[in-house]
Structure 1
C-alpha cells in the first residue's frame, strides 16, 4: 500500500505513513484519554503495529494527532484511538482526520464501519455514524449502498 498523504489548508498534514508516526506522542496522548489511560504500553504498541495508522502533523512536522483503524481494507473497519493534542484542538483537525480516513482510497470498498465513543457522538454523526443498539457508546456506519458497485 502506498502512503496516503493529505495536505490541509493550514499547512498541517495527515498521513498513513507508518514510519512517520511518533509512538512517544501516541503513547502520551492516549495516556490522557478516558479509554486508554490504564492500557499497558505493550498492548498499545502491539495494537498500533497491527492496524492502519494515521498521524496528524503540524506545519513544522511535529505530530499533533493520531488514529488507528482495525481493518481488512475490504469489508470492515473499526476506528479507534482518535486523538488531537489539546494544543491543536478547535481547528477542525479531528473532522479532517475522520474525513481523510473515510475517503482513503484503499478503504473504498469498506461498507461496515464501527467505533466506540463516550463523548464525540456529534463528530461522528456528521459522517453518517449512528448509535447502534442498547450500548450508547457503540456507533456504526453502513456504506453498503455506496460500495455495492465497486
Structure 2
C-alpha cells in the first residue's frame, strides 16, 4: 500500500486537480467554474488525501464550527479506489478538532450510503422537516447560456 497522508492545510491542496475531477468526473458539480470552486474552498474546511506525492482524494466541510457541518465534494480518484483511502479521509474529517461537539452533521449521497453509515449517518429522523433549493444543472446551464 502506498503512503497516504491527509492535510487540511489549504496551501497543500492541488486546486487544479480538484477542479478537474469535480468539473469533469463528479456527478454533482459537472462544469463548475474555477472561480466558483475557489470561492467554495476559501469558505470551507478542506481535506486533501495524498498518495505518492499527488492528490488522489478530497473532502470539503461547510461549517460554522459551533453547531453544524455539511460534508460535500468527497471523492477518491477512480484508479485509487479500493485501498481504504475514503475511510482514512473520513476518519480525518470526523477527528478534526474544529469539528467536535457539533449538533448536526449532514451530507447528501447518491451511492455511498453504506460507507457513511459506518460513521453514524442515517436517513433524517424527520425528513418532512427538510427542504432545499437545488439547481443541479446550474454550471452546465450557465455555460450553455454564455
Which interval holds the TM-score relative to the shorter structure?
A: 0.7 to 0.9
Q: Does 1:18 align with 2:10?
A: yes
Q: Flag the structure with higher helix content.
A: 2
Q: Does 1:33 align with 2:26?
A: yes
State the 1:50 CA deviation. 0.7
More relative contact order, 1 or 2 (CA 8 Å, 6+ apart)? 2
Q: Deviations over 1:37-90 (max 9, x none)?
A: 1322221121111100000001x3211111110011121110000010111110
Rounded to whole Å, the distance in 2 between the matches of 1:47 and 1:80 is 11
Q: Which runs of 4+ in 1 moved over 2 A?
A: 38-41
Aligned to 2:80: 88
Q: Deviations over 1:123-145 (max 9, x none)?
A: 111111011226xxx9xxxxxxx
Aligned to 2:43: 50
TM-score w.r.t. structure 1 length?
A: 0.79
Aligned to 2:108: 116
State the 1:10 CA deviation. 4.5
CA-based RMSD of the aligned residues comes to 1.9
Please point out which of 47, 51, 62 is paired with 1:70.
Answer: 62
- Structure with bigger gyration radius: 2
Please point out which of 121, 124, 131 is paired with 1:129.
Answer: 121
State the 1:99 CA deviation. 1.2
Rounded to whole Å, the distance in 2 between the matches of 1:34 and 1:128 is 24
Q: Flag the structure with higher strand content.
A: 1
Aligned residues: 127
Q: Which runs of 5+ in 1 are unaligned?
A: 1-8, 139-150
Once structures 1 and 2 are overlaid, which stretch shifts more, 9-18 or 75-84? 9-18
TM-score w.r.t. structure 2 length?
A: 0.81
